[in-house]
């Protein structure tokens, strides 16, 4: 439990994941029926980009930073969410996935987030104590996923965003998602993965799809021009809602256009396995 997301808040991986999250929720909310957002690894919900941890090696300068001020329509949901967390014309706070979910929740929707780090879980609980639509579980996300699926709403998005501290964490994630799919087969699953060990991801995908190919969509962002740290990541979305492929394609192309060309951004959006 050494991982602290504040060191990475607002980086290129966050903007890919969070843009994909907003696009997916937007498509799912075209129906009025209640929706559950279930998250295995929640973090703290809001990150202070001026905190010493975020300033040490400010990854957000190669992520959300250059996007601010873009007028690209596909970036506006993410930029509006960031603006909602900040004073006018400033960028100090970056919303994590629980906060993005909160900003999107309708009265009939619900968010259930798991966070194992005691300090982060306490911070999340305190942040959302007054909002009954958000439930925080201070427990292991892999274990909790068994209890939280299927949700009573029968419609839901499961967000899987582990820290990948352990070498086999992608495989652990694939097994957890595979188990959840047995209980909640028509749920939408959004799984973030770092591009640092392609063999580990291939092994995890083989595990996930061992009982047959499911409808899936993958979006990937790489920044080959980054001189340090993670250079790329992807999201894999299982059972993607209708129309998401186009929305995610537009989002990815807008990301590529808004990031500095010196970072050599490249994006791909494709049905999984064809990318």
Ligand X SMILES: C[S@@+](CC[C@H](N)C(=O)[O-])C[C@H]1O[C@@H](n2cnc3c(N)ncnc32)[C@H](O)[C@@H]1O
User: Does 141 participate in binding ligand X (rule CB under 6 A)?
Assistant: yes
Piece in contact with ligand X (CB under 6 A), picked from 138-146, 183-191, 209-217, 266-274: 138-146
CB 124 within 8 A of CB 115: yes
HEC profile of 18-38: HHHHHHHHHHHCCCCCCCEEE
- Does residue 27 interact with ligand X by CB under 6 A? no
Residue 43 touches ligand X, criterion: CB under 6 A: yes
Taking the C-alpha atoms of residue 243 and residue 81, their distance in angstroms, rounded to an integer, is: 22
User: What span, in angstroms and rounded, lies between the C-alpha atoms of 231 and 76?
Assistant: 24
Closest CB to ligand X among residues 141, 156: 141
Does residue 150 have a cis bond before it (omega within 30 degrees)? yes
Tokens encoding 46: 């809001």
- Cβ(98)–Cβ(39) under 8 Å? yes
Q: Which one of the spans 49-57, 71-79, 139-147, 211-219 is the region binding ligand X (CB under 6 A)?
A: 139-147
Strand partners, 192: 235
Which of 10, 74, 75, 97 forms a contact with ligand X (CB under 6 A)? 97
In the residue annotation, 161 being an active-site residue is answered as: yes
Measured CA to CA, the distance from residue 157 to residue 190 in angstroms comes to 7
Near ligand X by CB under 6 A, which window of 27-35, 37-45, 216-224, 253-261? 37-45
Residue 7: Cβ within 10 Å count: 16
Which H helix or E strand runs over 188?
strand 188-194
12 binds ligand X (CB under 6 A): no
Catalytic residue among 161, 168, 199, 247: 161
Task: Give strand ranges (E) for the chain.
Answer: 36-39, 46-48, 93-95, 110-114, 134-137, 156-160, 188-194, 216-223, 232-238, 265-271
Residue in 12, 67, 81, 120 binding ligand X, rule: CB under 6 A = 120
Note whether 272 and 212 are within 8 A (CB). Answer: no
Q: Is 246 in the site for ligand X (CB under 6 A)?
A: no
Contact call for residue 163 and ligand X (CB under 6 A): yes
Among 37, 116, 124, 201, binds ligand X (CB under 6 A): 116
Q: Which residue is nearest to ligand X (CB)?
A: 96
By the rule CB under 6 A, 5 interacts with ligand X: yes
Binding flag, residue 232, ligand X (CB under 6 A)? no
Q: Which DSSP state fits 226?
A: -
- Contact call for residue 41 and ligand X (CB under 6 A): yes
Q: How many residues bind ligand X (CB under 6 A)?
A: 19
Smallest gap from residue 274 Cβ to ligand X (A): 27
Q: Rule CB under 6 A: is residue 66 a binding residue for ligand X?
A: no
For 50, the token pair is 């001026």
Rounded CA separation 206/158 (Å): 20
Based on CB atoms, which residue is closest to ligand X, 195 or 257? Answer: 195
The one among 6, 22, 81, 114 contacting ligand X by CB under 6 A: 114
Binds ligand X (CB under 6 A): choice among 12, 27, 117, 272? 117
Residues forming contacts to ligand X in the complex (CB under 6 A) are 1, 3, 5, 17, 41-43, 96-97, 114-117, 120, 140-142, 161, 163
Catalytic residues, by residue number, are 161
């Amino acid at each position: 439990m050494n991982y602290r997301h504040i060191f990475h808040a607002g980086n290129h991986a966050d903007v890919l994941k969070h843009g994909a999250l907003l696009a997916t929720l937007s498509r799912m909310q075209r129906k009025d029926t209640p929706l559950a957002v279930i998250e295995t690894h929640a973090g703290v919900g809001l990150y202070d980009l001026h905190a010493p941890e975020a300033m040490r090696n400010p990854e957000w300068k190669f992520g959300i930073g250059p996007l601010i001020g873009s007028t690209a329509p596909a970036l506006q949901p993410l930029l509006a969410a960031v603006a909602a967390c900040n004073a006018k014309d400033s960028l100090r706070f970056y919303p994590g996935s629980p906060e993005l979910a909160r900003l999107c929740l309708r009265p009939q929707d619900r968010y259930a987030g798991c966070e194992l780090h005691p300090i982060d879980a306490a911070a999340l609980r305190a942040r959302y104590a007054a909002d009954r639509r958000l439930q925080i579980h201070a427990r292991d996300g892999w274990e909790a996923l068994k209890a939280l699926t299927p949700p009573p709403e029968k419609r839901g998005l499961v967000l899987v965003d582990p820290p990948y501290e352990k070498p086999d964490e992608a495989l652990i994630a694939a097994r957890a998602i595979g188990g959840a799919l047995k209980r909640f087969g028509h749920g939408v699953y959004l799984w973030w993965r770092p591009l640092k060990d392609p063999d580990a991801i291939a092994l995890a995908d083989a595990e996930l799809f061992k009982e047959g190919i499911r409808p899936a969509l993958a979006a990937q962002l790489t920044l080959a021009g980054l001189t340090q740290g993670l250079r790329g990541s992807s999201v894999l979305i299982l059972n993607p809602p209708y129309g998401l492929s186009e929305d995610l394609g537009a989002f990815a192309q807008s990301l590529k256009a808004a990031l500095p060309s010196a970072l050599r951004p490249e994006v791909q959006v494709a049905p999984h396995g064809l990318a």
